[in-house]
A = this chain, B = another copy of it.
Amino acid sequence: MTTNFQDFLSQRTYSMRRNQIREILKVVSQPGMISLAGGIPAPETFPLEELYRLNETVLDRYGAATLQYDMTEGFTPFREALVGYLKAKEITVSADKILVFNGSQSVLDTLGKVLITPGDTVALESPSYLGAISAFSAYEPNYVSIATDDAGILPDALEETLDRQKIKFIYLVTTFQNPTGRTLSASRRRHVAEIVQRHGALVIEDDPYSDLRYRGETVPPFYTFAPENTVYASTVSKVFAPGLRLGFCVAPAVIHEWLYTAKQGADLHSNTYAQALATEYICSGTIYEQVPKIIELYGPRLEAMLAAMDQYMPADYRWTQPDGGMFVWVEGPKGVDAEQIYWQAVERKVAFVPGKYFYINPEEGLATMRLNFTRSDEEAIRKAIATLGAVIRDFKPV
């Protein structure tokens, strides 16, 4: 009897979201395409030469331990190295409060597993990070969107939501948000923290980008304003190498304990060798040489994009003015369908991500676009924005 196993799938599988943008982005690898679509680091930011040396140090120093099964919580020297890394962000925790995961994506997945009972409500910024929605959706939550402006989530909108219904957690990318590039301002962090504390609510702060600041003042993590009500999640993907899949989090005790148990059942522990590499990357100080180089590469690309947009984008379009990260967010006038613009731009060899995919209700984001500025050089960015401006001006609905 041949079985196709369709009816063997779990109920939760039907709630999983496929990465819908994958399909439309297939064209991005066509020759000659300038892609503003991705969200991945420029490969020239990787410390490739240093890796030869880091590998030797790691094998000399830790030997067979780098290849062996290790603790679910994470490789102890890595957690100890993260103590100093986090302290520089004003997060003061001991190593035993840090849990290591396979990228921050896996922090989000495991949080979903531990926290979401099907039907629970999760609050998201509108728009929000698509990968978080993919991670949480496997656990069958409902979503509620919280309105945002250029300084991030609106405190009054949050408070109204918390008053109205039970919210399992509020998921925020607080600094240089994906997809908008916006940063929750310091004063608003304080206000949101006060609301969250008053309601006994839980915030998941996803902070992959804060080291990539090209201008403006550093803002301390939201965690520092409400440590007892926040899970802080981050990664070395943007400051070292995403291919190593190393993320980590700091969480309230009960949640920490169950994240640990869930991770033990899910994958035993994260790659020991990669954790040892990241340990040496931090402890040798290589990170403190590398991050300024990354900033030096990306900063001018952001400036080039913003300058080109001033020059080429139609007057009825507006866009964010990020101080860091990887993205600029564009909003066209009402009635624009950015996916139609996408297909016409692709014909002229420029790709981006239509912004509607970052909304729980895509209708709200039809006129939006996410533009990445880290994978192309200034010249390519200027050319791409000039083309995009022309496509928009010449746009004919199909």
Binding site for B on A (CB under 8 A): 1-6, 8-13, 16-19, 40-41, 43-44, 46, 48, 51-52, 55-56, 59, 63-70, 101-103, 105-106, 109, 113-118, 120, 131, 134-135, 137-139, 168-169, 197-202, 228-229, 237, 241-245, 252-255, 258, 261-262, 264-274, 277
Q: Which of B3, B56, B67, B117 is A244 in contact with, Cβ under 8 Å? A: B67
Please, which residues of chain B bring their CB within 8 A of the CB of A137?
A: 265
Minimum CB–CB distance from A231 to chain B (whole Å) comes to 10
Q: What residue in chain B is nearest A137 (Cβ atoms)?
A: B265
Q: Are B9 and A115 in contact (CB under 8 A)?
A: yes
Please, which residues of chain B bring their CB within 8 A of the CB of A1?
A: 197-200
Given A1-B200, A109-B265, does the pair A46, B67 have CB atoms closer than 8 Å? Answer: yes
Minimum CB–CB distance from A286 to chain B (whole Å) comes to 13
Q: Are A243 and B103 in contact (CB under 8 A)?
A: no
Q: Which of B2, B6, B46, B131 is A228 in contact with, Cβ under 8 Å? A: B2
Minimum CB–CB distance from A13 to chain B (whole Å) comes to 5
Please, which residues of chain B bring their CB within 8 A of the CB of A13?
A: 113-115, 258, 262
Please, which residues of chain B bring their CB within 8 A of the CB of A229?
A: 3
Given A102-B270, A274-B274, does the pair A241, B9 have CB atoms closer than 8 Å? Answer: no
Q: Are A40 and B69 in contact (CB under 8 A)?
A: yes
